[in-house]
Chains A and B, each alone.
Chain A
Amino acid sequence: MLNRFISHLFDIWEIITAEVRRVFMDKTTLVIFFLATAVYPSLYYYIYHREMLQEMPVAVVDLSHSEASKRFVHKLDATPELAVTHRCPALLEAEQLLDFHQVNAIFLLPANYADCLNHNQTARITCFSDISSFLYYKNALLGGSNVMLDEMHHIELQHQTASSLDIHSAEVQEQPIGIDDIKLYNPSGGYASYFIPALLLLVIHQTLFFGICVLCGDANENRRALKYIPTRLRSRSIYRVTIGRMLCFLLIYIPITLFDLWIVPRIFGLPQLGSATHIVLFLLPFFIATICFSMTVGNLFARERMSILLCCLFFSVILFFMSGLVWPQSNMPRFWLASSYLFPSTPGILGYVRISSMGATLAQVRHEYLALWMQAGIYFITSTLSLQFMSKFKQ
């Protein structure tokens, strides 16, 4: 019994060493495994390190020329989101600036702005905003409404104090219920803190997938598939090959994961609320599922070295959207929601972001964790079966 167990371990060890050699002999796999995982996270962090768009140029058309309208424009300029770069006498001129993208939004203050305020009527300010990127629109909306609220506060206090109320009761009457807003987990609403944790996991998922598929494609194309499987392991014992290969990729990805998920977030100061133990426990089924999923696809469909890279690269974009981080899962059509669970990246990204950025515990991501273990089990079986099928087919 013990002897058999030890001989199994030796078989697995043999496969691991053979596989590691294969990975390090293949330039493409090395580029995908090591270069991509090092360059992508750093590059993306550098791209997004300013977190948000600041001082977006806007044009103002002030037809009122009153003290109140000037105060509004000054406040617009003072917001971190907007910078009033052009003051235009007429809308036509501002529209031209917008057409040439010299400004991203126009604020139009009507001629009757001050009159309306003086007569206790609602004064309407119009904002035309570029929406080709949502952040332009968000900045215009956020900057504009913050100034509007501030001005409203100012005007109402003026009204109340004019009607001889003391400041405190004026404030109470003006704002009977206040709202304290608390933005959790990413207080500045920054892009890097939102995007990078998900990207890190997607990069790990995709590099593993494409790297493994390149190796499988290479073996299939050059009829060397059998060369890497010792004859005695080609029938029932073939699961040892799957285990060996899985352990090999797992070993290779230990330093990569340490760099991507431990060093990179610390260098760049990304939110890291989760406990390391929970992250490691969560990542274990993620890796098993991803490796076995990639081996299944690689064994069955990779006919040539680069064919999977050619056919599946576009899917990276879809996988990111499937994770539910952009478009919430609660609003996804059922079909896509169900299909998204075919890929380990979906529960992987969702769970990882919750643990690392939101400080969730393993129990709170139970749903995703179970999904990953199920995927790991199913894909382990499919990758073993596909390997057996391929080896019989090749023989």
Chain B
Amino acid sequence: MWKVAHRELRRILKKPSYTIILTVGVAISFLFFATIADEGQPHELPVAVVDLDGTYLSRRLCHELDATQAVNVVAVYHTHGDARSAMQRGEIFAFYEIPHGTYGEVLRFRAPSLELYTNQSYLLAGSLSYKELATMGKLAAGAVQREVLRKKGMDENLIMGLIQPIALDTHPIGNSKGSYQVYLMTTIIPGIIILMAMLQTAYVIGREQEERTVRGWMRTARGNAMKAFVGKILPYMVYYTLLLLVAEIIMYGPMHLPMSGSWGLMMVLALLSVLAAQSAACFLMGCVPDSSVAMSLTSAYGTLAFTMCGFSFPVDAMPVPMQVFSMLFPLRYYWLAMRDITLFDNGIGYVWPQLCVLAVFGLLLVGGAFVFGRQYERRVKC
């Protein structure tokens, strides 16, 4: 086994380009996700106002919207069509339409309505600008109401209780600011590293077949397919586990992403996830005879993991067969255990099932080696 690992190291050193390129790839992805969402939540989203009223009230609403951090009024239109067209051009995510005579109706106690249009094709920008504009609209309404109550001579404390009898304080656990960066980076970066470990494992096994060096490889392992596979994936396992740990240390260290649990568990998790992904790749490479097709299937399986781990769209909302299907992805278990450790400060008592399943994925390695070994023997006999 060590001899195979040694042989593999020599092969890597002879042709280090792929390992270097993949490492640079991890660095680029890291930089991308670290810088793209560093605001936490998008600020100053472009929105507009269609002012058909042109009074004190509409100007005040514009000013108040502009004063918030989340949105930025980039234009004031005078027709609905203009605003709608700007939305289709992608210039704004939402707009308020203030109908003609709104202020007059407020003064006459006729309860007019404002129209709030949001673009839900952009899920994040659409819902954020909706939330912000709806709140500002309510506040503006509150301000008018407060003026009415004050003129009636009501006590200032009671006014607040009347305007807002109930308040809802939300506390997102572990990520108190609701930062998008925390949510994206902690899953996508490990996901990319695990994907690379899986792909490179598949690739190097495929190369042995394409370069017709399988015989030399098996001879080094003395004909034992299990030893051949373990020796082969060992250098990559060590390398990608280290890479994953370095990424995690940077994220949870200098970048201060929330990490409340144990580092020991995170290390075990990193090692087992890389191993599980590699084992899955070995299984596919062992079972599918054409190495290029096997590699394409591994790629499809690897990219699907980002969806099936359930970080963007929860697995509980998927149809039942897909919930079962999600169990076949190591990244799913990484994500489940990672959120327990980093966000919920849960210890081994909570995450042992995930760690065990990841270890069971290791059996795929045995299966892949078995099938591969038998095929090899058959070929040698021929």
Residues on A lying within 8 angstroms of B by beta carbon are: 27-28, 31-32, 36, 39-40, 43-44, 46-50, 52-54, 56, 98-100, 116-117, 119-138, 140-141, 144-145, 148, 151-152, 155-156, 159, 169, 171-187, 189, 191, 193-195, 210, 214, 304-307, 309-311, 313-318, 321, 325-333, 335-336, 350, 353-354, 357-361, 364-365, 367
Q: Roughly how many angstroms separate A390 CA and B344 CA in the complex, as a whole number?
A: 55
Whether the Cβ atoms of A313 and B44 lie closer than 8 Å is no
Q: Given A138, A314, A364, which contacts B196 in the complex, CB threshold below 8 Å? A: A314
Instruction: Tell me how far the C-beta of B124 lies from the nearest C-beta in chain A, rounded to whole angstroms.
Output: 6
Hey, which chain A residues are within 8 Å of B42, CB to CB?
A: 327-328, 330-331
The verdict on A122 contacting B88 (CB below 8 Å), with A28-B293, A179-B116 known, is no
Question: At the interface, yes or no: B380 with Cβ under 8 Å from chain A?
Answer: no
Minimum-distance CB pairs A-B, first 7:
A120-B161, A131-B172, A132-B339, A186-B120, A360-B88, A178-B113, A28-B292
Q: Roughly how many angstroms separate A311 CA and B120 CA in the complex, as a whole number?
A: 34
The verdict on A311 contacting B178 (CB below 8 Å), with A50-B319, A179-B138, A181-B130 known, is no
Hey, which chain A residues are within 8 Å of B302, CB to CB?
A: 313
Nearest residue (CB) in B for A330 is: B46
Question: At the interface, yes or no: B357 with Cβ under 8 Å from chain A?
Answer: no
Chain B, interface SS category: helix
Q: Given B29, B33, B160, B317, which contacts A122 in the complex, CB threshold below 8 Å? A: B160
Whether the Cβ atoms of A311 and B18 lie closer than 8 Å is yes
The count of A-to-B residue pairs whose CB atoms sit within 8 angstroms is 328
Q: Roughly how many angstroms separate A327 CA and B25 CA in the complex, as a whole number?
A: 21
Q: Which parts of B293-351 form the interface with A (CB within 8 Å)?
A: 293, 295-297, 299-300, 302-304, 306-308, 310-314, 316-319, 322, 335, 339, 343-344, 346, 350
Hey, which chain B residues are within 8 Å of A173, CB to CB?
A: 109, 145, 148
24 chain-A/chain-B pairs, Cβ below 8 angstroms: A27-B290, A100-B350, A122-B161, A124-B169, A125-B167, A126-B168, A131-B174, A132-B174, A134-B312, A135-B312, A172-B109, A172-B111, A175-B141, A176-B111, A176-B144, A177-B112, A181-B118, A186-B126, A194-B120, A311-B21, A314-B29, A325-B122, A333-B35, A360-B89
Hey, which chain B residues are within 8 Å of A361, CB to CB?
A: 88
Can you add 6 more A-B contacts, CB < 8 Å, to A99-B350, A132-B174, A306-B295? A31-B293, A124-B166, A129-B172, A179-B114, A189-B123, A309-B296
Hey, which chain A residues are within 8 Å of B191, CB to CB?
A: 317
Hey, which chain A residues are within 8 Å of B87, CB to CB?
A: 184, 358
Whether the Cβ atoms of B296 and A28 lie closer than 8 Å is yes
Nearest residue (CB) in B for A194 is: B123
Hey, which chain B residues are within 8 Å of A318, CB to CB?
A: 28-29, 32
Whether the Cβ atoms of B210 and A305 lie closer than 8 Å is yes
Comparing B199-207, B271-279, B362-370, the segment that makes contact with chain A is B199-207
Question: At the interface, yes or no: B254 with Cβ under 8 Å from chain A?
Answer: no
Whether the Cβ atoms of A98 and B93 lie closer than 8 Å is no
Whether the Cβ atoms of A131 and B118 lie closer than 8 Å is no
The verdict on A120 contacting B166 (CB below 8 Å), with A27-B292, A127-B171, A328-B42 known, is no
Nearest residue (CB) in A for B92 is: A330
Instruction: Tell me how far the C-beta of B354 lies from the nearest C-beta in chain A, rounded to whole angstroms.
Output: 12
Q: Roughly how many angstroms separate A365 CA and B88 CA in the complex, as a whole number?
A: 8
Hey, which chain B residues are within 8 Å of A28, CB to CB?
A: 290, 292-293, 295-296
Q: Given A32, A177, A185, A360, which contacts B114 in the complex, CB threshold below 8 Å? A: A177
Hey, which chain A residues are within 8 Å of B214, CB to CB?
A: none
Instruction: Tell me how far the C-beta of B263 lies from the nearest C-beta in chain A, rounded to whole angstroms.
Output: 19
Whether the Cβ atoms of A187 and B36 lie closer than 8 Å is no
Q: Roughly how many angstroms separate A313 CA and B29 CA in the complex, as a whole number?
A: 12
Hey, which chain B residues are within 8 Å of A178, CB to CB?
A: 111-114, 141
Q: Roughly how many angstroms separate A117 CA and B158 CA in the complex, as a whole number?
A: 11
Q: Given B88, B164, B180, B199, which contacts A327 in the complex, CB threshold below 8 Å? A: B180
Instruction: Tell me how far the C-beta of A117 lies from the nearest C-beta in chain B, rounded to whole angstroms.
Output: 6
Question: At the interface, yes or no: B90 with Cβ under 8 Å from chain A?
Answer: yes
Whether the Cβ atoms of B120 and A187 lie closer than 8 Å is yes
Whether the Cβ atoms of B167 and A365 lie closer than 8 Å is no
Q: Given A49, A144, A327, which contacts B168 in the complex, CB threshold below 8 Å? A: A144
Instruction: Tell me how far the C-beta of B171 lies from the nearest C-beta in chain A, rounded to whole angstroms.
Output: 5
Nearest residue (CB) in A for B314 is: A133
Q: Given B118, B168, B171, B296, which contacts A184 in the complex, CB threshold below 8 Å? A: B118
Question: At the interface, yes or no: B22 with Cβ under 8 Å from chain A?
Answer: yes
Hey, which chain B residues are within 8 Å of A336, CB to CB?
A: 32, 35-36
Q: Given B26, B121, B167, B310, which contacts A133 in the complex, CB threshold below 8 Å? A: B310
Whether the Cβ atoms of B166 and A155 lie closer than 8 Å is yes
Q: Roughly how many angstroms separate A127 CA and B171 CA in the complex, as a whole number?
A: 6
B 99-127 to A, binary, CB cutoff 8 A, 1 in contact else 0: 00010001001111111111111111111
Hey, which chain A residues are within 8 Å of B303, CB to CB?
A: 313, 316-317
Q: Roughly how many angstroms separate A306 CA and B180 CA in the complex, as a whole number?
A: 34
Q: Given B35, B45, B206, B319, which contacts A328 in the complex, CB threshold below 8 Å? A: B45
Whether the Cβ atoms of A311 and B25 lie closer than 8 Å is yes
Whether the Cβ atoms of B115 and A182 lie closer than 8 Å is yes
Question: At the interface, yes or no: B165 with Cβ under 8 Å from chain A?
Answer: yes
Question: At the interface, yes or no: B134 with Cβ under 8 Å from chain A?
Answer: yes
Q: Roughly how many angstroms separate A40 CA and B18 CA in the complex, as a whole number?
A: 27
Whether the Cβ atoms of A321 and B116 lie closer than 8 Å is no
Q: Roughly how many angstroms separate A22 CA and B290 CA in the complex, as a whole number?
A: 17
Question: At the interface, yes or no: B359 with Cβ under 8 Å from chain A?
Answer: no
Nearest residue (CB) in A for B199 is: A310
Nearest residue (CB) in B for A176 is: B144
Q: Roughly how many angstroms separate A333 CA and B42 CA in the complex, as a whole number?
A: 12
Q: Roughly how many angstroms separate A6 CA and B44 CA in the complex, as a whole number?
A: 57
Whether the Cβ atoms of B121 and A313 lie closer than 8 Å is no
Whether the Cβ atoms of A350 and B90 lie closer than 8 Å is yes
The verdict on A52 contacting B317 (CB below 8 Å), with A125-B169, A311-B25, A354-B88 known, is yes
